[in-house]
Amino acid sequence: MKFLAGQRSKSTITSDFEGGQRASAPRLYRGGRMIKWKGATASFAPSSLIIAGAIGTFLIGSNTATAQTFTGNQTTNGPFSSGEQNFYDTSLLNASYANAVGGGFQYFNGKSALNASATNAIRGGIQSFYNTSVLNSSAANGVNGGRQFFHDTNVLNASVVDAVSGGEQSFYNTSVLNASATNAISGGIQLFLGSSVLNALAVDAISGGAQTFSQNSTLNASAANAVNGGEQIFRLNSTLNALTANAVSGGVQTFADTSQLNASTANAVSGGLQLFYGESALNASATNAVSGGEQTFYQNSVLNVLADAALTQNTNIRFENKDGGIGGTVKLNGFSTVVGGINSLSEGSGIVENGGDGDGTLTVDTSVLGNASFSGEVWDGGNGRLAIVKAGTGTLLLSGNSVYTGATDVTGGTLQAGSNTAFSSSSDFTVTDGTFDANGFNSVVASLSNAGLVATNL
């Protein structure tokens, strides 16, 4: 069988070491052979298989117990605490009392099913699902321990509060976890690889635990507050789709490599903390798509504005280059939007650009989130021009290098320079209301029309 994945095969073994990266190694057979991979050592005697290394020591199993086989429409209630149980066809394991499954190895094939219908029904062991077999957790804490592996087109249905509150669940290929109740996932560790999917279908469906998505896996948040807690990590080409208002309202979401957060409806992202690394992206493709939370961009990650007014006064964008790269980019793509703040966490972090064929305008309204300070680059970045508007009370301090060619308007508060190149020499400046403050720096602008206050040093 495959180590960690629980699959019975004659080819290779795969594991989930190092954050979801899959490693291959020669086949392990019972009989005393030892191999090493990814810093771990695997060895076994005729009665057991033991793994030791970076993740500790893990006892895989024993061949001293006689395997049990269930076929046709046979049904059993357990209990199972050791040995090996194989389910085929439409056979059932009904775990209808506490600790019904506490150990051993259970393999589900064909259309067989494991029904966890009591509190703490599954507390241990390893359960592996193949073909179209299913795990139904229909009781609070129904799955509260053990390790469950879903290899093919299998489904885990978490249909009640705290249906999955512990253990570790790993999903491969096109397997699916359906969280269709409030707090359906409140604990445990869930790993998604291949093209597997987590469907968060109810209010507060994900309120705890840790979910890691890798390869081409997906989290679909299709109910209000569907993602409201826990920690979600996205790697490689994985995706979080925020498909309804307030779909992402809490928790911490971390994106790396080329993973993406797609906010495709109004208020899709309204809370939580979103962190973007590598070349990951936040795609805001609807009006008011990102209306809250805090978004921080590291390395070469991007916030793509793909609709007018995609952001709001409650959107706080932070840039950080301490881990290398430019510290993130906001790209308007020819659209115009307001934002509550643009803030460089380290000197020189971030780029604000248009990047589209049509002109785009970024309005920074600091009346809600307070003063903002940006020390990165501001430029057109494409055929279309970039324009900047400072609106609302509060101060926007620009202390980087600005070379954009669109207009600059001050309609409220203070636009303040923090360097000689903070104000673009290619931009026409208009002060309708508020203050244009050169702050003692030598500023050059294309033109200046003033109906407010112009200061060289306030």
| Predicted local confidence at residue 19, as pLDDT | 36
Angle (CA) 161 241 334, round 5°: 150
Q: Burial level of 37, CB count in 10 A (0-12/13-18/19+)?
A: middle
* pLDDT greater than 80 at residue 16: no
Residue 271, helix vs strand vs coil: coil
| Predicted local confidence at residue 10, as pLDDT | 32
| Predicted local confidence at residue 287, as pLDDT | 98
* pLDDT greater than 50 at residue 11: no
Cβ-based neighbours of 431, under 8 Å, separated by 6 or more:
409, 410, 448, 449, 450, 451, 452, 453, 454
Q: Which residue has the higher pLDDT, 454 or 348?
A: 348
Q: 361 and 389 in contact (C-beta within 8 Å)?
A: yes
* pLDDT greater than 70 at residue 338: yes
Q: Which residue has the higher pLDDT, 55 or 273?
A: 273
Q: What are the pLDDT digits (tens) for 268-283?
A: 999 999 999 999 999 9
| Predicted local confidence at residue 325, as pLDDT | 95
Percent share of the chain, pLDDT over 90? 82
- Determine the average pLDDT of the residues in 84-103: 97
Four-CA torsion 214, 218, 224, 226, nearest 10 degrees: -40
Q: What are the pLDDT digits (tens) for 215-269?
A: 999 999 999 999 998 899 999 999 999 999 999 999 999 999 999 999 999 999 9
Q: Which residue has the higher pLDDT, 19 or 270?
A: 270
Task: State the CB neighbour count (10 A cutoff) for residue 14.
Answer: 18
Q: What are phi and psi of 199, to 5 degrees?
A: -100, 110
| Predicted local confidence at residue 219, as pLDDT | 98
| Predicted local confidence at residue 47, as pLDDT | 34
Nearest in space to 431 (alpha carbons), one of 443, 415, 417, 446: 415
- Spell 147-175 as b/e; 16+ CB within 10 A means b: bbbbbebbbbbbbbbbbbbbbbbbbbeeb
| Mean predicted lDDT score pLDDT of the chain | 87
| Predicted local confidence at residue 60, as pLDDT | 40
Nearest in space to 219 (alpha carbons), one of 247, 245, 246: 247
Distance (Å, whole) CA 152 – CA 79: 26
Percent share of the chain, pLDDT over 70? 85
For 16-151, where are the alpha helices, taking DSSP H only? 17-20
* pLDDT greater than 70 at residue 33: no
Q: Which residue has the higher pLDDT, 220 or 30?
A: 220
* pLDDT greater than 80 at residue 77: yes
* pLDDT band for position 95 (cuts 50, 70, 90): very high
* pLDDT greater than 90 at residue 374: yes
* pLDDT greater than 50 at residue 455: yes
| Predicted local confidence at residue 6, as pLDDT | 41
> If residue 137 lies in a helix (H) or strand (E), which one and from where to where?
strand 134-137
In Å, how far are 111, 168, 243 from 283, measured between CA atoms?
39, 31, 12
- Determine the average pLDDT of the residues in 295-299: 98
Q: What are the pLDDT digits (tens) for 403-453?
A: 999 999 999 999 999 999 999 999 999 999 999 999 999 989 999 998 767
| Predicted local confidence at residue 42, as pLDDT | 36
